[in-house]
Structure formats: structure tokens, C-alpha cells
Amino acid sequence: MDFLTGGILCIGLLLITMAIGMPIGLAFLLGGFLVSGLLLGFGSSLTLLGQAAYFSIAAPTWAAIPLFILMGSFASGGGLARRAYNGAHAVSRGLPGSLLIATCLSCGVFGAVSGSSIATTAIFGKMALPEMNRLRYDKALSVGCIASAGTFASMIPPSMMMVVYALFTQQSIGKLFAAGILPGLLTAGVYAALIVILVKRKPHLAPEPEVPATAQSDSPPIIVHRAREALQMWPVIGIAVIVLGGLYTGWFTPTEAAAAGALATLGFGLLFGEFRTLGDVTRAMQESANVTAMLFLINIGALFYSRVLAVTRLPTELTMMLLTWDVPPIVILLGIMAIMFFLGMIMVPIGIYALTLPIIMPLLTKLGYDPIWFGVIALKLTEIGAITPPVGLNVFAIKGVIPKAMNVSLEQIYKGCLPFLLCDIVVLAILVAFPQISLWLPNLLLG
């Protein structure tokens, strides 16, 4: 078997094993090992696997991933999500669809200490959905808003997927974090504007509670009360300042920033009394250990798989073939985005990165595209994939926490996600047309 045929077989085996339901980490390992065994022999395949399992993740930067996961676990159990939600609701109160807007804003704020899209969706599904249901908000729009806003945790730093992208492409984690801030805020703003427009046109989608006559005026006591509620968000903002401020001032490496964030989050959980016993802390640590083990198995499999693909020279040959096409670079970029958009419907982001980045990154850099900017585009595409059928990981996350009494089907959730999906596509087009939205802040902070 020649090497190029082996590369094609490698991709085919991955798609087949995933189609039959094999876990993605094992699918990467099995497909890569079978093809490398055919091409290099059993002994060389074991050596390559051992190198991928150790040397690829032995760098200190990889320690940032479990530390960011631990920070998210402490934030989930430490009551920071509730504080972010109450503070955001105080800011949005009085606007049409205020609870929906509060969900968008608080998901963005909580994303600064969570880093996990699925976890953010599940937490706010448990917290915000009962209140929306009590006020007779439209069920489809409510669950669609939570599932869609949960994706902010992938873009707003510190994002675990940005760390994974940085390690796959050897880019600066600090620059990627900075690049995600403005696109994340832009998406949250567009979502909020969409909610206002929808509710103004169809007030029955989000009926507001009646305000008592004594509280209808914006008297100073009311303003002070709302300001106090909004200030509940200060611990979340403080943690984000510690992590990002330490990173951009040069005080912390990415790993040290993650450790400082985890310690600060634990400290706030203890301060506010959310962690009452040692068991509360150990449960959060066990949860983060389980997620880390699963994620590192996927990472090892993905890195091994990408190395096998590199051995087959399929990525190099495809790059050279595409470079010879007599088409504008934007056409090739749109083709790559279409492929990643399709893969986002059926694969987890790490799998998409392992399958595509070894092939497309050399091509994109030769065409003159900035890898930091494309990291934002890739994150945006995986955000869209998280709410797009047939898989839509965030859709299944919100489905898992919806009370059975609400009787919300998957079709209703996808229907509720549709307006926000269209917003994401508009934001994606803006980010492609104006790269400086993503690049201005990292260039300002890090040159």
C-alpha cells in the first residue's frame, strides 16, 4: 500500500468507526494504529503511539487544560453562575425579554470562568429555565436561547478549546484569548438585539411580570437596589481580571494563570459558603478529573492520528494541489469553512481540529491568512455546530436538564435555536469580512 492510499484509508476508517458509535478518542487511536501498522509495521506504530501519548502532551502548557477544567468545576459548584445571572438580570430588567437577555449576558460573564460550552448550557438550563417557564415564556425560544448562549464559553476567554487549538497549531494562547473577546461580546450584543426585536414584534413570546405600583418609578432606592444586584457579578469579573490580567502583564504563564484562576474560584466558593464540607470540594475535583481523563484520551488519539496523517503526506499533497488551483484565496477559505461547518454537525471540536488542522493550516498560512484570526473563525464554526442538527452537543445538553413536565422535544429546541443560528452566521460573515475585529486586541496587547 502506498502512503497516499494509506492517508485516504485513515480518514475513511475514522468516519466509519465514528458512524458505528465508537468513542471518538478510541476511533482516532484505532484508525491511526491500523494504518500506521500497515505502512510502518507493528513496532514502529507502537513507537509512534508512545511518542504521541507522552511527548506530545508532556509540555507544561498542557497542564493548563485540567486547571481550566478545575476552575470551571469550582465555578459551577461555587455559586458563581447564580451571581452572574442575578447581576445580569438586574442590568437587563425592563427590556423586552429581560430574562432571555439576562441569560445571554450571564452566559458571557460566566464563560470567563467556565470555559466549557456544555457545562454552561447545563447550568443555566437548570437555573434560568424554571423561571422562564413560570413567567410563561415561549418554551422553544427559552431553551434555544440557553443552548445558543452556552456557546459563548467557547469564545470568551479563558476558553478550553482555544487552548486545544493553540496546542495543535503552536500559536500563542494569550493572543487567542485576546482575539476571542470582541467576537464574543459582538455575538452577545447581536443576540440581545435579536431578542428585543422578536419580543417587541411578538410580546407573547416573553410576557413580562407585572411591576407593583410602588416600584414602577426609577426612584433612587430602586436604582440603588438594582446596582447592588448588578454588583453580585464582581467575583466573576475579579477572577477574569486575575487570569487575563496576569497573563497579559506577563506575571503568569498560561498554566500559572489557570492555577491562579482555580485557586481564586475555590476561594470565592469557600468565602460565600457554597463549599460547606470537604466533600463539596472533592466532588468538584473528581468531576474535573473525569472530564480531564476523557479529554486527554481524545487529545492523545487526535495527536497520534494527526501524526499518522502527516506520515502519509496526504496533508502536504492536498495543500500543494489546492495551491495550484486557479481560484481566489477566498474561495479556498470558504470551501474550508464549509467543510468545518459540516463536520461541526457530526463531530466534537477536538475531532474536527485533529482531522482538518494538519491539512489546512499549511495551506492557509501560504495563502496569507493569519492563524490567530482563523482560530476565531474555527471557534465560531464549532459554536454553530453545537446548535446545529443532527448532533448539536449543546442541544442535547439542554435536553438533558429540561424537566419532563415541560415536554419539550428536540425539534422544538432546534426550532428555538434557529434565530440565534442565523445571528451566528451573520457574525461569522462579519468576522470574515473584517479580520481586525479579531486581531486588533491581540496586536494591541501582545504586538
Stretch 389-406: mean pLDDT, rounded? 80
Residue-level pLDDT at 193? 93
Asked if residue 43 belongs to a domain, the reply is: no
Stretch 233-259: mean pLDDT, rounded? 86
Give the residue from 97, 80, 36, 175 showing the smallest Cα distance to 416: 97
C-alpha dihedral sign at 178, 80, 296, 152: negative
Taking the C-alpha atoms of residue 53 and residue 303, their distance in angstroms, rounded to an integer, is 8
Stretch 334-339: mean pLDDT, rounded? 88
Q: What is the mean pLDDT of the chain?
A: 84
- 32 Ramachandran zone, left/alpha/beta (phi>0; psi -120 to 50): alpha
CB 121 within 8 A of CB 397: yes
Domain count for the chain: 1
> At residue 291, what is the residue type?
V
CB 229 within 8 A of CB 102: no
CB 187 within 8 A of CB 424: yes
Band (pLDDT 50/70/90 cuts) for residue 430 is: very high
Provide the domain limits for residue 431.
Answer: 64-275+313-446
Residue-level pLDDT at 56? 65
Task: Provide the CA 299 distance to its chain's centre, in angstroms.
Answer: 16
CB 428 within 8 A of CB 382: no
Asked if residue 305 belongs to a domain, the reply is: no
In this structure, of 186-190, 254-258, 421-425, the range with the lowest mean pLDDT score is 254-258
**Roughly how many angstroms between the first and final C-alpha of the chain, as a whole number?**
47
CB 372 within 8 A of CB 182: no
> At residue 27, what is the residue type?
A
Would the pLDDT of 52 be above 80? no
> At residue 288, what is the residue type?
S
Stretch 247-271: mean pLDDT, rounded? 88
Give the residue from 290, 292, 294, 288 showing the smallest Cα distance to 266: 288
Band (pLDDT 50/70/90 cuts) for residue 372 is: very high
Asked if residue 381 belongs to a domain, the reply is: yes
The model's pLDDT over 306-317, given as tens digits with 9 standing for 90+, comes to 788 878 877 777
Asked if residue 371 belongs to a domain, the reply is: yes
Backbone φ, ψ for residue 434 (5° rounding):
-130, 80
Band (pLDDT 50/70/90 cuts) for residue 82 is: confident
Stretch 410-432: mean pLDDT, rounded? 93
Strongest mean pLDDT among 34-38, 104-108, 248-252, 371-375: 371-375
Band (pLDDT 50/70/90 cuts) for residue 326 is: confident
Stretch 50-74: mean pLDDT, rounded? 79
Report the alpha-carbon angle 107-244-378, nearest 5. Answer: 60
Would the pLDDT of 23 be above 90? no
Count CA within 13 A, CB hemisphere, residue 169: 31
Asked if residue 13 belongs to a domain, the reply is: no
Stretch 401-408: mean pLDDT, rounded? 80
Give the residue from 152, 157, 161 showing the smallest Cα distance to 174: 157
pTM higher than 0.85 for the full model? no
Asked if residue 46 belongs to a domain, the reply is: no
Please give the share of the chain, as a percent, with pLDDT higher than 90: 19
* DSSP annotation of 420: H
Residue-level pLDDT at 401? 81
Stretch 421-444: mean pLDDT, rounded? 94
Band (pLDDT 50/70/90 cuts) for residue 419 is: very high
- Residue whose C-alpha cell reads 482575539 in the numeric block: 179
Asked if residue 17 belongs to a domain, the reply is: no
Would the pLDDT of 10 be above 90? no
Taking the C-alpha atoms of residue 387 and residue 67, their distance in angstroms, rounded to an integer, is 27
CB 4 within 8 A of CB 317: yes
Residue-level pLDDT at 217? 47
Residue-level pLDDT at 213? 46
The model's pLDDT over 167-223, given as tens digits with 9 standing for 90+, comes to 888 898 889 999 999 999 999 999 999 999 999 999 888 887 655 444 444 445 667
All three cell numbers of 184, joined, read 464574543
- 407 Ramachandran zone, left/alpha/beta (phi>0; psi -120 to 50): left
Give the residue from 238, 235, 226 showing the smallest Cα distance to 88: 226
- Local structure of 404: helix, strand or coil: helix
What CA–CA distances, in Å, run from 283 to 70, 76, 172, 276? 11, 11, 32, 12
Asked if residue 15 belongs to a domain, the reply is: no
CB 147 within 8 A of CB 417: yes
Taking the C-alpha atoms of residue 271 and residue 276, their distance in angstroms, rounded to an integer, is 10
Please give the share of the chain, as a percent, with pLDDT higher than 70: 95
Residue-level pLDDT at 92? 82
Residue-level pLDDT at 418? 93
Residue-level pLDDT at 163? 84
